[in-house]
Structure 1
Amino acid sequence: MKFGADTWWLVGLAVTIAIGIIGYFLKRTMSKQDQHEADINHIKLTYVTKEEFKELKSDTATSMDKLQKDVEEIKVNTLSKADFYRSQAKTDDKMDKIYDMLIELSKKG
C-alpha cells in the first residue's frame, strides 16, 4: 500500500494537531501541579499543630479570665459617674456655704 504526498501531508497535520493538544493539556496539568505545590508549601509554613492550638486556646482562656477579674476589680474600685456628680454637688454646696459665711463676715466686719 502506497501513500501519496497529500496523504502524508494529512497524517503529518493530524500528528501535529495531536501533539499540540497533548502539549496543551500537559502544560495545563503541570501549571495546576505547580500551583498545588505552592499552596502546599504555604500550608506547611503556616499550619498550626493540635498541641500549639491547645496551648493557644489555654493561653487565651487564661488571659480572658485575668481580664474578667481585672474588669470586676475596676468595677469595685472606681467611682461611677453618678457618684462623682453627687460628690461634686456636695463640694459645690459646701463651697457656697463657705462663700456665704465669708460674705456675712465681711458685712459685719
Structure 2
Amino acid sequence: MSKQSTPFLFGDETEIEDLGGGLKRQVLGYNHELMMVKVWFAKGAEGYVHKHRHSQVTYVEAGEFHFNIGGEIKVLKPGDSCLIPPHVEHGAVCPTGGILIDTFSPAREDFLKE
C-alpha cells in the first residue's frame, strides 16, 4: 500500500460506511504500517468470527461486548481493551449497542476504497 490518509481527519467530514447487520465503520487514519478504525454496533449486532494476518488492538469506547478470541470469551466494557494476534480467530457480540476503536498493523487494505 502506497497510500496514506491526510494528516488531519475530522469526524464530521470523514465517511461512515454502513456494513449492514447493525455495523458501521469509519477509518480514522492510516499508512502502510498502521490503521485506526471506529466501529459502531447496534444493539445485538455481531462481528462474525474471522481471522486475518494483522495484529489488532481494540479499545471499548462504549457499550458491552462479548469478545471471543481464540475460543476464549470475555466481557469487555468501556475502558477495556484486547490484543488479537495475527491469524487468531476472533469475533464480538454487542448486546447493548456500543463503539469500538480498532487499530491494525499493518493497515487493512481491504477497508480502503480504490
Q: Which has the higher helix share?
A: 1
Do the two structures share a fold, i.e. TM-score over 0.5? no
Q: Which has the higher strand share?
A: 2
Q: Greater relative contact order (Cα 8 A, min sep 6): structure 1 or 2?
A: 2
State the TM-score bracket (shorter-chain normalisation).
Answer: under 0.3
